[in-house]
Amino acid sequence: MTWESIPEMVLSAGDRFGSAEAVVDGPLRLTFTDLADRVRVAAGAFAEAGIGKGDRAAIWAPNSAEWIIAAFGLLTAGGVLVPVNTRFKAAEAHDIIRRSGARLVLVQKGFLDQDYEGPPGVPTIDIKSGFLAGGSPFERASRGDDVCDIMFTSGTTGRPKGVMMTHAQTLRLYAEWCDLADLRQGDRYMIVNPFFHIFGYKAGCVASMIRGATVHPVPVFDVDRVLELIERERITMLPGPPTLYHSLLEAQAQGEWDLSSLRAAVTGAADIPVELIRRVVTELPFQTIMTGYGLTEAGTATASRPGDSFEDIAATVGRPCDGVEAAIAPDGEVLIRGYTVMKGYLDDPRATAEAVDADGWLHTGDLGTQDERGHLRIVGRKKDMFIVGGFNAYPAEIESFLMEHPAVAQAAVVGVPDERLGQVGRAFVVRRGEVTEEELVAWSRDRMAGFKVPRSVRFLEELPLNATGKVMKDELINDELMKEEPS
């Protein structure tokens, strides 16, 4: 089925799936018919608040039914969605809201004890107030090539940039994603990935509306709450980072929760141990597991396929999606080309030209290799790479080795100055068992080329992560952590 726009697809779900549950958020249970009706009313509220065709509005709020209604309501009013990271402090959020040109911002007051308030001059509306229910039913048509959202990059390696995507790009890619991830009509889909991120919003909310799956939004990841929801709501679809599956394996071993409903898993990272993939498939009820590679500028670019081996799923990020090409530049950078590549960065033609070359290749900033079958392997970030005595060292590769040690739960590697070699590796490790710095360095020397071996190790209780689960390496190399003595 082909739709011109996301609102057309979402509203048609009311006819396609009717009385089936669309969203379950605590005591609130909405059918697809209910959701379509609420989206039309929310569209009226946005229109009455002055949102016209192409106008932008920001949502700075956690996963909830109201977030879904607000996002789809805004699009149905002809507006453009600007999701804002809920972990941002006021100055960070205000910078994005101002630069996006948002006409208004919806927030959830009191979430994470933070004072969510838009910047001066931009009206702030509590998403839990009656605003979304206060309009008259309304629809304004959008075309496939209209920009539907501006998602800002994570900012782990510089100032966030606003990525512009269209309705047509989103609908085509995430219809395919449903097939690759084995998302089915009637699935009960727990979304722990934040809605402000492309995974939570597009591979989550949009995909669920395409396929007719029930969305169970989770605002803050809490293992016990997740386990309770799996058992009570008979969750079938559960994407998440590798740490989520570690938690499920521990819960399964304790036998306190019924996880038997779980069927489809989706994960992605550069350092997934093969043993973890094997255990997820053999010890948990999952029948399928997909891994992939995506980025804000191109959505999901590659994915594993049914029948891929444990090694393929763990060590690679699969093959390019339909209509997408992947290539490796002479310097090892991963290049992506195809219909999914962004329309550009908002108000930044220079950065756009630097990111997308004249031949249409998106320069991702990631380093990788590609085998003869087309499987892509990510080995690190171009900016993360450091040079040890003339040899290029890639943190993701070294981290993958370290994760094979039975006492290592998490690892992150950065380059630090060295008088003789220029730079050497330093590992930041979260332990799951007993191991000393000397033991881990010696263990590494038996398994890696000398230039890859971390020269020092810092043990931490936890790694600094952003809200999408990426390690904030800029925080690892600040003065406080650098001064910390190994335990």
| 486 pLDDT above the threshold of 60 | no
Q: Name the one residue in this structure whose structure tokens are 């569209």.
A: 43
Closest by Cα among 301, 229, 159, 242 to 465: 242
Find out whether 129 and 137 touch, Cβ atoms under 8 Å.
Answer: no
User: Angle at CA 60, nearest 5°, toward 54 and 66?
Assistant: 85
Distances (CA, A) of 449 to 275, 316, 388: 23, 21, 11
Q: Record the tokens describing residue 9, joined without a space.
A: 């697809």
Mean pLDDT of the chain, nearest integer = 92
Percentage of residues in the chain with pLDDT exceeding 70? 96
pLDDT band for position 392 (cuts 50, 70, 90): confident
pLDDT tens, position by position, 295-342? 999 999 999 998 899 999 988 999 999 999 999 999 999 999 999 999
Average of pLDDT values for 272-283? 88
Q: Tell me which amino acid residue 462 is.
A: E
Q: Tell me which amino acid residue 371 is.
A: D
| 180 pLDDT above the threshold of 90 | yes
Average of pLDDT values for 138-163? 88
| 85 pLDDT above the threshold of 80 | yes
Cα-Cα-Cα-Cα torsion 117, 121, 127, 130, nearest 10 degrees, comes to 130
| pLDDT computed for residue 270 by the predictor | 55
Sign of the torsion formed by the C-alpha atoms of 33, 2, 326 and 183: positive
pLDDT tens, position by position, 399-437? 888 998 999 999 999 998 888 888 899 999 999 999 999
Ordered structural domains, the chain, with CATH: 6-205 (3.40.50.980), 221-380 (3.40.50.12780), 385-483 (3.30.300.30)
DSSP characters over 349-403: HHHHHHHB-TTS-EEEEEEEEE-TT--EEEEEETTT-EEETTEEE-HHHHHHHHT
Indicate the pairing of strand 56-60 with strand 80-83.
parallel
pLDDT band for position 478 (cuts 50, 70, 90): low
Sign of the torsion formed by the C-alpha atoms of 89, 90, 91 and 93: positive
Average of pLDDT values for 159-167? 94
- φ and ψ at residue 295, rounded to 5 degrees: -155, 155
| 487 pLDDT above the threshold of 80 | no
